[in-house]
């Protein structure tokens, strides 16, 4: 009877130990599986957070870079406009200064030329003692002598150039433009006087002036 109890106790003890061993193995497996799952989830969470953080960092870097590029672009445009404006202002100032210098040089040159011309004409004026009206009167006198000589012919011939009739009144009109030449007043006055004399002599044919009729 005692032996049977001993056997039963041993069996129970062995069964208990086996149960405990199996339970411990199951617990260990469950714990290992739970640990692995927890680690996997933790890694996934960390990876997601890292990816999210990386994306946020990338977005921030892109935004900062874009802001820096936009700011640099605006500053470059402003600087370019400022440089262009400064260059235009400088060119304008230089052009005005250059124009002033050129104007001053021309003024001085014209003054020197007038003084030199006056010096050259002074001996002539002193020699012939002419005032402003005398050259014109000399020209009128020359024109009278020419027209008198021409009209004194028995049959004065008509003047043609390129087979076209030319009136001496037309020539006189062109000579009258000599008054526009103010650099040489004495020759201009004489030519203008000749022109006036020719116009006066040919006044009757004025309607035919500048018609350039063909020679018959």
Ramachandran assignment for 58, one of left (phi > 0), alpha (psi -120 to 50 degrees), beta (any other): alpha
Ramachandran assignment for 158, one of left (phi > 0), alpha (psi -120 to 50 degrees), beta (any other): beta
Statement: residue 121 has pLDDT above 60: no
Q: How far apart are the first and last CA of the chain?
A: 182
The average pLDDT across 95-115 equals 79
pLDDT value for 101: 82
Statement: residue 131 has pLDDT above 60: no
Q: Report the predicted TM-score, pTM, of the whole model to 2 decimal places.
A: 0.36
209 or 48, greater pLDDT: 48
Encode pLDDT of 133-188 as tens digits: 788 888 889 888 888 887 787 776 777 677 777 777 788 888 878 777 777 788 88
Encode pLDDT of 34-68 as tens digits: 888 888 888 888 888 888 888 888 888 889 988 89
**Alpha-carbon torsion 40, 42, 46, 48, what sign?**
positive
pLDDT value for 118: 67
10 or 125, greater pLDDT: 10
Q: Are 171 and 195 in contact (CB under 8 A)?
A: yes
pLDDT value for 120: 66
Give the torsion through C-alpha atoms of 130, 150, 199, 185, to 10 deg.
-20
Burial 137-150 (b: 16+ CB within 10 A, else e): ebbbebbbeebeee
State how far the alpha carbon of 84 is from the alpha carbons of 71, 98, 99, 188, 196, in Å. 20, 20, 22, 53, 61
> Could you give phi then psi for residue 183, rounded to 5 degrees?
-70, -35
Helix (H) or strand (E) holding 161: strand 160-161
Statement: residue 124 has pLDDT above 50: no
Q: Are 200 and 146 in contact (CB under 8 A)?
A: no
74 or 169, greater pLDDT: 74
Name the percent of the chain lying above pLDDT 90: 0
3-state secondary structure 64-131: HHHHHHHHHHHHHHHHHHHHHHHHHHHHHHHHHHHHHHHHHHHHHHHHHHHHHHHHHHHHHHHHHCCC
């Amino acid at each position: 009877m005692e032996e049977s109890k001993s056997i039963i106790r041993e069996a129970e003890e062995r069964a208990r130990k086996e149960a405990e061993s199996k339970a411990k193995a199951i617990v260990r497996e469950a714990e290992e599986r739970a640990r692995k799952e927890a680690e996997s989830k933790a890694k996934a969470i960390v990876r997601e957070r890292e990816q999210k953080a990386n994306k946020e960092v990338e977005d921030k870097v892109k935004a900062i870079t874009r802001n820096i590029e936009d700011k640099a672009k605006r500053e470059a445009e402003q600087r370019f406009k400022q440089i262009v404006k400064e260059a235009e202002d400088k060119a304008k100032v230089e052009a005005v200064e250059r124009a002033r210098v050129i104007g001053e040089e021309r003024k001085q040159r014209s003054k020197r030329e007038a003084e030199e011309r006056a010096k050259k004409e002074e001996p002539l004026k002193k020699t012939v003692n002419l005032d402003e009206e005398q050259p014109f009167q000399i020209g009128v006198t020359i024109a009278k002598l020419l027209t008198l000589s021409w009209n004194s012919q028995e049959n004065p011939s008509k003047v043609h150039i390129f087979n076209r009739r030319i009136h001496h009144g037309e020539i006189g009109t062109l000579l009258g433009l000599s008054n526009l030449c103010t650099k040489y007043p004495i020759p201009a006055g004489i030519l203008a006087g000749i022109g006036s004399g020719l116009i006066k002599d040919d006044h009757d044919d004025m309607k035919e002036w500048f018609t350039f009729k063909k020679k018959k």
